[in-house]
Amino acid sequence: MPDDFLYARQRMVDDLARGYGIKNQRVLAAMGSVKRHLFVREHLRRQAYGDFALPSGSDQTISQPYVVARMTELLDVSADHVVLEIGTGTGYQTAILAELASRVYSLERIGSLARQAIARIRELGYQNVKIQTFDGTVGWGEVAPFDRILITAGAPAVPEPLFSQLGVGGVLVIPEGDRESQRLVKYRKLRAGGFQRSEGESVAFVPLVGRFGWREQS
Protein backbone atom coordinates (compact mmCIF):
# COMPACT_ATOMS: atom_id res chain seq x y z
CA MET A 1 0.00 0.00 0.00
CA PRO A 2 1.55 3.35 -1.03
CA ASP A 3 2.47 5.80 1.70
CA ASP A 4 1.04 9.15 0.59
CA PHE A 5 2.72 10.91 3.51
CA LEU A 6 6.24 9.50 3.10
CA TYR A 7 7.73 12.72 1.71
CA ALA A 8 6.08 14.84 4.41
CA ARG A 9 7.39 12.53 7.13
CA GLN A 10 10.92 12.55 5.70
CA ARG A 11 10.82 16.35 5.53
CA MET A 12 9.67 16.46 9.17
CA VAL A 13 12.61 14.30 10.23
CA ASP A 14 15.02 16.46 8.24
CA ASP A 15 13.63 19.57 9.94
CA LEU A 16 14.04 17.95 13.36
CA ALA A 17 17.68 17.16 12.64
CA ARG A 18 18.77 20.30 10.80
CA GLY A 19 16.39 22.92 12.11
CA TYR A 20 15.88 21.84 15.70
CA GLY A 21 19.13 20.03 16.43
CA ILE A 22 17.77 16.61 17.34
CA LYS A 23 20.91 14.45 17.25
CA ASN A 24 19.87 11.01 18.52
CA GLN A 25 19.77 8.84 15.39
CA ARG A 26 17.52 6.21 16.98
CA VAL A 27 14.98 8.91 17.84
CA LEU A 28 15.10 10.32 14.31
CA ALA A 29 14.67 6.84 12.86
CA ALA A 30 11.65 6.22 15.08
CA MET A 31 10.11 9.55 14.07
CA GLY A 32 10.62 8.55 10.45
CA SER A 33 9.12 5.11 10.96
CA VAL A 34 5.92 5.91 12.88
CA LYS A 35 3.13 7.27 10.67
CA ARG A 36 1.86 10.26 12.62
CA HIS A 37 -1.07 10.79 10.27
CA LEU A 38 -2.62 7.56 11.55
CA PHE A 39 -2.82 9.08 15.04
CA VAL A 40 -4.71 12.25 14.13
CA ARG A 41 -8.32 12.79 13.09
CA GLU A 42 -8.95 12.05 9.45
CA HIS A 43 -9.84 15.63 8.52
CA LEU A 44 -6.51 16.80 10.01
CA ARG A 45 -4.24 14.30 8.30
CA ARG A 46 -2.89 16.78 5.78
CA GLN A 47 -1.57 18.75 8.76
CA ALA A 48 -0.10 15.71 10.53
CA TYR A 49 3.55 16.49 9.79
CA GLY A 50 3.49 20.18 10.53
CA ASP A 51 5.39 21.18 13.65
CA PHE A 52 2.42 22.04 15.83
CA ALA A 53 0.06 20.31 18.24
CA LEU A 54 -3.31 19.09 17.02
CA PRO A 55 -6.58 18.45 18.91
CA SER A 56 -7.22 14.78 19.65
CA GLY A 57 -10.56 14.88 21.47
CA SER A 58 -11.62 15.07 25.15
CA ASP A 59 -9.81 18.45 25.42
CA GLN A 60 -6.46 16.73 24.80
CA THR A 61 -3.83 17.23 22.10
CA ILE A 62 -1.20 15.32 20.17
CA SER A 63 2.09 17.14 20.81
CA GLN A 64 4.06 18.82 18.06
CA PRO A 65 6.74 16.57 16.52
CA TYR A 66 9.64 18.60 17.92
CA VAL A 67 8.39 18.24 21.50
CA VAL A 68 7.90 14.49 21.02
CA ALA A 69 11.40 14.15 19.59
CA ARG A 70 13.00 16.36 22.24
CA MET A 71 11.36 14.57 25.18
CA THR A 72 12.29 11.21 23.70
CA GLU A 73 15.87 12.34 23.18
CA LEU A 74 16.09 13.55 26.78
CA LEU A 75 14.72 10.20 27.96
CA ASP A 76 17.65 8.41 26.26
CA VAL A 77 15.95 5.04 25.73
CA SER A 78 17.98 1.90 25.01
CA ALA A 79 16.72 -1.28 23.38
CA ASP A 80 16.73 -3.18 26.68
CA HIS A 81 14.81 -0.56 28.67
CA VAL A 82 11.37 -0.91 30.22
CA VAL A 83 9.50 2.39 29.95
CA LEU A 84 6.46 3.79 31.73
CA GLU A 85 4.52 6.48 29.88
CA ILE A 86 2.00 8.64 31.74
CA GLY A 87 -0.62 10.00 29.36
CA THR A 88 -1.13 7.71 26.37
CA GLY A 89 -3.31 10.16 24.47
CA THR A 90 -3.52 9.13 20.83
CA GLY A 91 -0.74 6.57 21.26
CA TYR A 92 1.72 8.41 18.98
CA GLN A 93 4.38 8.93 21.64
CA THR A 94 3.70 5.37 22.79
CA ALA A 95 4.54 4.07 19.32
CA ILE A 96 7.75 6.12 19.21
CA LEU A 97 8.79 4.58 22.54
CA ALA A 98 7.84 1.11 21.30
CA GLU A 99 10.30 1.54 18.42
CA LEU A 100 13.09 2.21 20.93
CA ALA A 101 12.43 0.16 24.08
CA SER A 102 12.11 -3.47 25.09
CA ARG A 103 8.74 -2.90 26.74
CA VAL A 104 6.37 0.05 27.12
CA TYR A 105 3.66 0.40 29.76
CA SER A 106 1.31 3.34 29.26
CA LEU A 107 -1.45 4.79 31.45
CA GLU A 108 -4.30 6.99 30.23
CA ARG A 109 -7.00 8.31 32.56
CA ILE A 110 -9.57 8.93 29.78
CA GLY A 111 -11.13 5.63 28.78
CA SER A 112 -12.18 6.63 25.26
CA LEU A 113 -8.64 7.78 24.38
CA ALA A 114 -7.12 4.62 25.86
CA ARG A 115 -9.43 2.38 23.82
CA GLN A 116 -8.61 4.23 20.60
CA ALA A 117 -4.88 4.08 21.33
CA ILE A 118 -5.04 0.34 22.07
CA ALA A 119 -6.76 -0.23 18.72
CA ARG A 120 -4.14 1.81 16.84
CA ILE A 121 -1.21 0.13 18.55
CA ARG A 122 -2.64 -3.32 17.83
CA GLU A 123 -3.38 -2.44 14.21
CA LEU A 124 0.21 -1.31 13.75
CA GLY A 125 1.48 -4.60 15.13
CA TYR A 126 3.36 -3.50 18.25
CA GLN A 127 3.75 -6.48 20.56
CA ASN A 128 5.77 -4.74 23.28
CA VAL A 129 3.12 -2.28 24.52
CA LYS A 130 0.51 -2.55 27.26
CA ILE A 131 -2.00 0.26 27.82
CA GLN A 132 -4.44 0.62 30.72
CA THR A 133 -7.02 3.18 31.78
CA PHE A 134 -5.91 4.43 35.19
CA ASP A 135 -4.75 7.45 37.16
CA GLY A 136 -1.22 7.92 35.82
CA THR A 137 -0.10 9.92 38.85
CA VAL A 138 -0.30 6.70 40.88
CA GLY A 139 1.92 4.85 38.43
CA TRP A 140 2.02 1.12 37.77
CA GLY A 141 3.55 -0.41 40.86
CA GLU A 142 2.95 -4.05 39.92
CA VAL A 143 5.48 -3.89 37.07
CA ALA A 144 7.95 -1.39 38.59
CA PRO A 145 10.80 -0.52 38.69
CA PHE A 146 11.15 1.21 35.35
CA ASP A 147 14.33 2.21 33.53
CA ARG A 148 12.63 5.28 32.08
CA ILE A 149 9.45 7.24 32.89
CA LEU A 150 7.96 9.81 30.51
CA ILE A 151 5.16 12.11 31.66
CA THR A 152 3.30 13.75 28.79
CA ALA A 153 1.19 16.24 30.74
CA GLY A 154 2.14 19.29 32.78
CA ALA A 155 2.49 18.90 36.54
CA PRO A 156 3.45 21.16 39.45
CA ALA A 157 5.97 18.51 40.54
CA VAL A 158 6.77 14.86 39.92
CA PRO A 159 4.12 12.65 41.58
CA GLU A 160 5.85 10.90 44.46
CA PRO A 161 4.74 7.37 43.40
CA LEU A 162 6.55 7.83 40.08
CA PHE A 163 9.81 8.74 41.78
CA SER A 164 9.55 5.58 43.85
CA GLN A 165 8.87 3.44 40.77
CA LEU A 166 11.93 4.69 38.88
CA GLY A 167 14.87 2.30 39.09
CA VAL A 168 18.29 3.35 40.34
CA GLY A 169 20.15 5.07 37.51
CA GLY A 170 16.84 5.61 35.73
CA VAL A 171 15.65 8.78 33.97
CA LEU A 172 12.32 10.59 34.29
CA VAL A 173 11.25 13.44 31.98
CA ILE A 174 8.33 15.72 32.85
CA PRO A 175 6.87 19.11 31.83
CA GLU A 176 7.03 20.84 35.24
CA GLY A 177 5.31 24.13 36.08
CA ASP A 178 1.81 25.59 36.35
CA ARG A 179 -1.35 24.75 34.43
CA GLU A 180 -0.57 27.08 31.51
CA SER A 181 3.18 26.70 30.97
CA GLN A 182 6.01 24.42 32.01
CA ARG A 183 9.65 23.62 31.40
CA LEU A 184 10.96 20.22 30.38
CA VAL A 185 12.78 18.77 33.38
CA LYS A 186 14.98 15.68 33.41
CA TYR A 187 15.61 13.72 36.60
CA ARG A 188 18.16 10.96 37.03
CA LYS A 189 17.90 8.70 40.09
CA LEU A 190 21.33 8.46 41.72
CA ARG A 191 22.78 5.30 43.20
CA ALA A 192 23.82 7.23 46.31
CA GLY A 193 20.22 8.43 46.81
CA GLY A 194 18.44 11.52 45.60
CA PHE A 195 18.15 12.88 42.08
CA GLN A 196 20.11 14.90 39.57
CA ARG A 197 17.83 17.56 38.04
CA SER A 198 18.27 19.59 34.86
CA GLU A 199 15.89 22.04 33.18
CA GLY A 200 15.23 22.38 29.47
CA GLU A 201 13.06 24.52 27.24
CA SER A 202 9.63 26.04 27.84
CA VAL A 203 6.59 24.00 26.77
CA ALA A 204 2.81 24.07 27.19
CA PHE A 205 1.04 20.79 27.94
CA VAL A 206 -2.44 19.91 29.11
CA PRO A 207 -2.49 19.45 32.92
CA LEU A 208 -1.64 16.15 34.58
CA VAL A 209 -4.86 15.39 36.43
CA GLY A 210 -4.98 12.83 39.21
CA ARG A 211 -4.54 12.03 42.87
CA PHE A 212 -0.94 13.31 42.87
CA GLY A 213 -1.37 15.95 40.18
CA TRP A 214 -3.82 18.74 39.37
CA ARG A 215 -7.48 18.52 40.29
CA GLU A 216 -9.92 18.25 37.40
CA GLN A 217 -11.64 21.56 36.72
CA SER A 218 -15.39 21.61 36.30
State yes or no: pLDDT of 1 exceeds 60: no
Q: Where are the domains of the chain?
A: 6-203
If one compares 217 and 140, the residue with the highest pLDDT of the two is 140
CATH code for residues 6-203: 3.40.50.150
Q: Report the chain's mean pLDDT, rounded to a whole number.
A: 95
Q: To the nearest whole percent, how much of the chain has pLDDT over 70?
A: 99
The radius of gyration computed from the CA coordinates of the chain, to the nearest angstrom, equals 16
Q: Are 80 and 102 in contact (CB under 8 A)?
A: yes
Q: What is the mean pLDDT of residues 64-89?
A: 98
63 has catalytic annotation: yes
Q: Which entry of 56, 58, 63, 102 is annotated as an active-site residue?
A: 63
Band (139; pLDDT cuts 50, 70, 90)? very high
pLDDT at position 209 is 96
Per-residue pLDDT tens over the stretch 42-66: 899 999 999 999 988 778 889 999 9
Q: What is the mean pLDDT of residues 156-175?
A: 97
DSSP code for 164: H
Q: What is the mean pLDDT of residues 121-138?
A: 98
pLDDT at position 79 is 98
Q: Are 62 and 52 in contact (CB under 8 A)?
A: no
CA–CA distance, 136 with 45 (Å, rounded to integer)? 28
